[in-house]
Amino acid sequence: MKTILTGLRVNSELTLGNYLGALLPMVRLANQHSQDYNINIFVPDLHSIISDVDGDMQTNIIKSLKYYLASGLELGENVHIYRQSYVPAHSELCWILNCTATMGEASRMTQYKEKGEGKSSVNVGIFDYPVLMAADILLYSATYVPVGEDQFQHLELARNLAERFNHKHGEVFTLPAKTRDQAKFMGTDEGIRIRDLQNPEKKMSKSTPAENSKIMLSDTPEKARKKIMSATTDSFANIKYDMINQPGISNLLQIEALTNDLPLQDVISTWAGESKYGDLKQKVASSVATLLESFQSRYAEISDDMLYAELKKGEKYANEVANAKLYEAQKALHLR
Ligand code: ATP
Ligand code: MG
C-alpha cells in the first residue's frame, strides 16, 4: 500500500496559510484515500526547534493534532499519527543522508536563504532541516507529500538524495512523486502559496513577527476580519488575478476561493471588472470569519486522552516501518 505523508511544525500557532496550503489539502486527501493508502500524519517536533518555540511544545503538539481533526480528518485503521522525536530512526537516517547531500545543494534551498536573511548567525538545523525532511519521507517510502508550494524544492531534494543513494549503494529508497504530480494529486496546478497580508510579495509565515501579516487559526473571527480589512492592496482599482503586479488583490481572491471551496476561476469571474477593493475585502473577511468560527467550535470538542491513545498506536507502527527501512540503508552501507 502506498503512503501519503505530511507534517506541520509546531514552533507556534498555525496560520490560515498553513491551513489552506497544507492542513486542508492533507485532510481531504486522507479522507479520500484512507482505504487504499497509508495516511501518515507526523508532528515534526525536531523540525520545530530550528527556530524559537512560542509557548509550550507539548501543548503545541496536541493543538496541532486537534487542528487536523477540527479540519475534518477522520481517524481510521490506516491513519497513523506520530511524533517525529519518538521515532529515532528519523535522526539516524538524517545523518546518513547528510553524507549523501552536498553543501552546494543544501545552500541553494530558498527556505534556508529566507530564514537566514539579515541574521548574523544561523543554526545548523536551519541549514540541514531539508535533509531531515528527506529522511521523514524516505523512511516510509511515501509517494505523496502534500505541502505548500514553498516546500516543493525540498521534495525535489528528497528525490535527488534517494536517487543518488540508490545509485551508489543499491535500491533502498522509493522516490516520492515528482512535484508536478504531487500538485496534480492535491488537485492544484502549482501548489498553494497564501501571501503575507502586509507584504504580499512574500508568503504568509507563522514565524513572521508582524501580527497583521498573518491570520492565526486561534484569532477571534473579529480580529481576523480586521486583519483582512487592513490588507495591503494596490492603486490599480481593478479586481484582477495577477500575482505579479497585483499580489495583494490576487491573494484575497485566492483566499476567497479556498475558504469557500470554489474553483479560483469562478471567483475571478465573479469579481472581474469590479473596482471597489473594500467590497472584496468585506466578502473575504466574512468568509474567513465564518471558517474560523466553525473550525474553532469543532476544535473545542476534541479530547486530549483520545489523541494520546492514537499517538501510542501510531508511534508503534511508525517505529516498525522506519526501523525496517533504516536497517536496509545501514546494510547497504555495511554498517550492519
Ligand atoms: P515558519 O515561518 O515557521 O517556517 P510556516 O508558516 O512556513 O512557518 P511551516 O511549518 O514551515 O509553516 O510549514 C507547514 C506547512 O504549511 C508546509 O506544508 C508549508 O508548505 C505550508 N505553508 C506554509 N506557509 C504557507 C503559505 N503561505 N501558503 C500555503 N502553504 C503554506
Ligand atoms: Mg516554513
Q: Is the CB of 203 under 6 A from ligand 1?
A: yes
| pTM, rounded to two decimals | 0.87
Question: What residues are paired with 5 via a beta bridge?
Answer: 40
Within a 13 Å sphere around the CA of 262, how many CA atoms are in the beta-carbon half?
A: 16
| In contact, 6 and 146? CB cutoff 8 Å | yes
Residues of the chain where predicted confidence (pLDDT) is lower than 50 = none
155 lines ligand 1 (CB under 6 A): no
Atom of ligand 1 nearest to the CA of 147: 18
Q: What is the pLDDT of residue 119?
A: 87
- For residue 120, report the distance from its CA to the centre of ligand 2, in Å: 20
How many CB atoms are located within 10 Å of the residue 209 CB?
7
Question: Which pLDDT value is given to residue 57?
Answer: 94
- State the cell numbers at 252: 484575497
Is residue 183 lining ligand 1, measured as CB closer than 6 Å? Answer: no
Q: Which residues contact 163 (CB under 8 A, 6 or more apart)?
A: 175
Q: Which domains occur in the chain, in start order?
A: 2-187+303-332 (3.40.50.620), 211-299 (1.10.240.10)
Q: Are 191 and 152 in contact (CB under 8 A)?
A: yes
Decide: helix, strand or coil at residue 144.
strand
Q: Tell me, letter by letter, the H, E, C secondary structure of 27-81.
A: HHHHHHHCCCEEEEEEECHHHHCCCCCCCCHHHHHHHHHHHHHHCCCCCCCCEEE
